[in-house]
């Protein structure tokens, strides 16, 4: 097993969260799977266990702790290697999760994670604009993805809240969205998470 216990303890303190024994075990399994697959397909640019834990897993754990106050149906747009959706699901098991990923190999990886960790999730391979069940979602997550005007208008029309992971500036097209809640990510200089709500005038 990967010797990451000290790093986990330090990040738990920095992010002010406490993981269960089961959550830590699943984190280890996920990390092992990610490193195995990352040798063959580009899943993450983060190098080393410490960066993977901090920037992928713990930012997701922290976001779930900070922004989810009740069971929520979440759609992760452009899920890639499963972040932030899967860590949020690991932290809040009652959360419903759909992962949207257009890349076939990455979508297969996401399905493998679900099987390995025994998580009940759905993986949709395609564009977020083409997902046909948006009306059943409460929230979408967005990280390192620029949403199209069509997607922004869709989320706005359905009044789906958007949990956006961003730098000092929000992605193009979201600057005029209503900020319901925003917080700076622990240990970062310019990384933020904001819960946004589209308005009818947004384009």
* pLDDT(201) > 80: no
Assigned domain for 21 exists:
yes
Closest CA to 65 of 100, 89, 41, 47: 89
Number of domains in the chain: 1
pLDDT band at 202 (very low <50, low <70, confident <90, very high): very low
Q: Is residue 153 part of a domain?
A: yes
Is 100:37 a contact under the CB 8 Å cutoff?
no
57 lies in some domain:
yes
Average pLDDT of the segment spanning 137-160: 95
pLDDT tens per residue, range 108-132: 999 999 999 999 999 999 999 999 9
Question: Residue 186: what pLDDT?
Answer: 97
- Asked, for residue 116, whether it belongs to a domain, the answer is yes
Average pLDDT over residues 86-94: 97
Residue 203 within any structural domain of the chain: no
Residue 2 has pLDDT above 60, yes or no: no
Q: Regarding predicted confidence, which is higher, 19 or 3? A: 19
pTM for the full model? 0.94
For tokens 């216990």, the residue is: 5
Contact yes or no for 140/133 (Cβ under 8 A) = no
**What would the pLDDT profile of 179-198 be if each residue is shown by its tens digit?**
999 999 999 999 999 999 99
Domain range spanning residue 74?
Answer: 5-197
Residue 202 falls inside a structural domain: no
**CATH number of the domain enclosing 52:** 3.40.50.150
How much is the pLDDT for 86? 98
Q: What is the pLDDT of residues 18-56, one digit of tens each?
A: 999 999 999 999 999 999 998 888 887 766 889 999 999
Q: Checking DSSP bridges between strand 122-125 and strand 96-101, what pairing results, if any?
A: parallel
Supply the pLDDT for residue 62.
98
**What integer pLDDT is reported at residue 29 of this predicted model?**
96
| Res 70: pLDDT | 84
Does position 203 have pLDDT exceeding 50, yes or no?
A: no
pLDDT at 157 over 60: yes
């Amino acid at each position: 097993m990967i010797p990451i216990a000290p790093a986990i303890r330090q990040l738990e303190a920095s992010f002010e969260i406490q993981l269960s024994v089961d959550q830590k075990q699943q984190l280890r399994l996920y990390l092992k799977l990610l490193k195995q697959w990352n040798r063959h397909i580009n899943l993450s640019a983060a190098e080393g266990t410490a960066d993977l834990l901090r920037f992928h897993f713990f930012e997701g754990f922290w976001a779930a702790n900070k922004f989810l106050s009740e069971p929520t149906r979440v759609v992760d747009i452009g899920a890639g290697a499963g972040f932030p959706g899967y860590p949020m699901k690991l932290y809040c098991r009652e959360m419903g999760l759909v992962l949207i990923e257009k890349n076939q190999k990455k979508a297969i990886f996401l399905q493998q994670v679900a099987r390995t960790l025994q998580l009940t999730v759905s993986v949709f391979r395609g564009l977020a604009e083409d997902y046909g069940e948006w009306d059943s979602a409460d929230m979408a997550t967005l990280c390192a993805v620029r949403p199209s005007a069509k997607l922004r208008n869709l989320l706005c029309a359905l009044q789906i809240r958007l949990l956006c992971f961003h730098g000092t500036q929000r992605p193009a097209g979201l600057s005029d969205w209503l900020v319901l809640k925003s917080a700076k990510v622990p240990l970062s200089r310019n990384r933020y998470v904001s819960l946004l709500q589209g308005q009818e005038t947004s384009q």
